[in-house]
A and B are shown apart, each in its own frame.
Chain A
């Protein structure tokens, strides 16, 4: 087994592993759908019995809230998601890699496939006399046995659809058939007369009518085969897929009208071709209807690599709108990212032949293609009548690209699927949120009074007092101490200052660049070092981000824990702090209903520490020793003495490195000392952030009233149906609805998780 075929086998094996994840996602998609249908049924039930549901205090319409949650958009997107999933499942299930050949008629597709597969024109018809391939065929590289094929025929319903395409077009949608047995009765003569009468007929319409006539006149050629699959020998294949005999063009065939697909097995000429399949498509521009759509479907569903065949005109080296449109349509259908990896534009170079050579035009066309930057993997210049060129300049480059890049392309497809999954998840989450809101603010005054004894201690003891403890017991002590994590991370950066000194070899490279002298090289080194050092210290932002996020999570745990603020029962803290604040305020409509509380949380959310704010300028100041644009503090030049001549670049480079190491040491020590005073900053800053939040959510006043206390109470009253779910159910006026509702919604929410919509790639 050669290298390429081995790689192809490995790819196929890896695809099977990945397939398990995709199939798993498919199952999850069904679970999601099932839950949504349950929810929809519940909505329908309410819709049908809306009058029977009570409303608490007669003013709050729970049933209306539930019934009005929109779901149509979700179901539509779910359909798209599932079809994308199934497409990928099909793709990964294949035991071969598929190479599809597309292009207008007469561009050399069949010729190339003959030269790859070793099949002759009897099996893969090719000719210069117009449309020759009558049906789509796939050719599988099979190591053993004689050439054979399975001929798959259309079903009867599919045939009705095909014929109706022509009928509807020709009669402006007035006539169509319902059954395949109606075909012989179609009055084609009458239709032709009408075309002439109207004098509005076009060449296209005449062609369509010609095609329709074939289906009508040769009904008996295909009717008995419909719905069946036949095993045929090599000799018989042409009879089923070609429009005429390769030996005698006068000998017409019509079996192809009923053929959906010819699945041919043969041993390819190249021994290292491996498990690949060539997918032949009917030439675009053939007058049959639906050809382009068929081609796009083949590209989308059945292709790993796509070969677009193009034979430039022998007189003018140009590309027509047809070619551009084909490329554009394919890129639109499968994404430009895909085509940039797997769409090959093959320029068929004709050196001899009836219609003259196009050698001079080929280069012009290739140049134009390259200039225009089409979304393709490569443009290949191939004499398609030469077996050797087809192998070396087409097959091998394509197989190499396939074996090296197809996994990335698969990743790309899964990423795209995940984009749809993410949208679907967002919609699903919104529905879940809407279900939460349905009962918000539904409590009447009696209920509120009953719950007061729960609400008040939760706010004061569970939440505010715990937050007070956090800043007093933890962060008040911490703010006098350096931030250990930052210190530890910074120590790695100090080492990098020393490592930033370029090596002697790098300096020698700089010295050899153009007419650079030793001072230019020294300056270049210092410039590189400064940027490298600043970039490196800027990476400390990651550490600071983690520290701040941890602090925010501690604070939000006080808001959300069941034994503290309990707000996690409204919106669980299983996400980042940022997401929680966004999600929570969005759900409870915070900005509208609890503006002071929202303002405090938003300010806390926007709190951040970054090195640009307190560190970088200090570090920058310490870089002066390696900045020759700045004089030394004593006014002397920052350019060191570099002895030795440019004739001895090695010695000069050594000197430059010595100087750089000397000044890097100064920078290192000064930065280290400078930062020592700054390590406390994060802890001090975080203390301030928590204290500020506490002050805002405790003391905010307006019009001489504690507005914030009021907002806290309203919040807990509005959301008591989730915060104290069981107690609420027992005492609620809408108890009956609530019980069933809770059952439906809890199932819905159980899977309101990314893992149900996103595939790990």
Chain B
């Protein structure tokens, strides 16, 4: 049994749990009729939290008002949460456990040193880091319209530099190790999608997380780096309107964090319906990573095996349904074919898994 650890990163209330919720929402789409892959939830209780999150989002559409303030009623993640998923090829033996690790965004604040030590030890055993980005804070209140500048509240909301430091310190890949994956997921980017500004979003991610990109460049071939935006509400639904102002004409700020306390979103078309877009992509990328990793493990196992073990593996794979490297490669090809790799803010920046090549 193999375990793949995925860690969700991002500031408080920026949407880490939403990413997991979005992934769960599209299990059927990903594991449906197109593949022989199968997924099972190991721990039903923890998934209740995810269901709550999905219910909150759909609630915006049921009692629709012209403007909304997101994440106000939803309770923040309490402590470290792990969501375990069993992934296997139908009819084959050999399970992979996908362990999604979520933690409160507050832990990234300076006054949570103990928690950060826990995080660092988790990161060291982690294969994939997903960085959820609150796109509104990345984009709004920037000095200009260029990719080179980001919103003045971005750092305080998305902890870009802090996350970069943690990655550089604890998410290292030793020479000869399998590559790891870093996936940036810009969230709440409906406004920029609707106004055709996703390239700018992408550009600003490069600016805000420059240290991570530079680190990856220094460690060529060790990190698969992807930008994969997700529209959790959907095209032409609710988009960012403004950070609410007080009577004095100043933006209302959270006293502790010194970031806008009330981001407001507006339904431009009140008759629109919930239509999330690209929610499956993070899961597809994770699967592509898992399948690639499993294929390589299997291949290595066979290459390194002695004659007797090679014979034993052949028997198990041929007669006893043990999943083979070839099985994983075939499924990786299927999954890769569904990956979105460009346009609408998508980009594969570093590709040691050769996903782009395989997609062609």
Contact = CB atoms under 8 A, between A and B. Distances in A.
A665 B241 contact: yes
A187 interface: no
B249 A658 contact: no
Interface stretch (A283-291, A491-499, A544-552, A585-593): A491-499
Interface string B244-279: 010011100000000000001010111000000000
A643 interface: yes
A669 B241 contact: no
A673 interface: yes
B66 A499 contact: no
B249 A669 contact: no
B304 interface: no
B146 to A, nearest CB: 10
Contacts of B66: 643, 654-655, 658-659
Given A643-B66, A662-B266, A498 B245 contact: yes
Contacts of B142: 673
A129 interface: no
Interface residues of A, dominant DSSP = helix
B34 interface: no
Contact of B140 (A495, A499, A669): A669
Nearest to B248: A495
A499 B248 CA distance: 8
Contacts of A643: 66, 270
B144 interface: yes
B358 interface: no
Interface string A493-512: 01110110000000000000
A495 B249 contact: yes
A640 B242 contact: no
Interface residues of A, number: 19
B270 A499 contact: no
Nearest to A497: B249
Contacts of A178: none
A450 interface: no
A496 B144 contact: no
A661 interface: yes
A665 B242 contact: yes
Contacts of B140: 669
B270 A673 contact: no
A669 B141 contact: yes
B266 A658 contact: yes
Contacts of A665: 241-243
A643 B67 CA distance: 12
B80 interface: no
Contacts of A662: 67, 241-242, 266
A643 B268 CA distance: 11
A197 interface: no
B73 to A, nearest CB: 20
A676 B144 CA distance: 8
Nearest to B64: A643
Given A641-B268, A669-B140, A673-B145, A658 B245 contact: no
Interface in A536-592: none
17 contacts: A494-B249, A495-B249, A495-B250, A499-B249, A641-B270, A643-B66, A643-B270, A654-B66, A658-B66, A658-B67, A658-B241, A662-B241, A664-B242, A673-B142, A673-B143, A673-B145, A676-B144
The 9 closest A-B pairs by CB, nearest first: A495-B249, A665-B242, A662-B241, A498-B245, A658-B67, A498-B249, A499-B249, A643-B270, A658-B66
Interface of B: 66-67, 140-145, 241-243, 245, 248-250, 264, 266, 268-270
Given A499-B249, A643-B66, A658-B241, 10 more contacts: A495-B248, A498-B249, A641-B268, A641-B269, A658-B66, A659-B66, A662-B241, A664-B242, A669-B141, A676-B143
Interface of A: 494-496, 498-499, 640-641, 643, 654-655, 658-659, 661-662, 664-665, 669, 673, 676
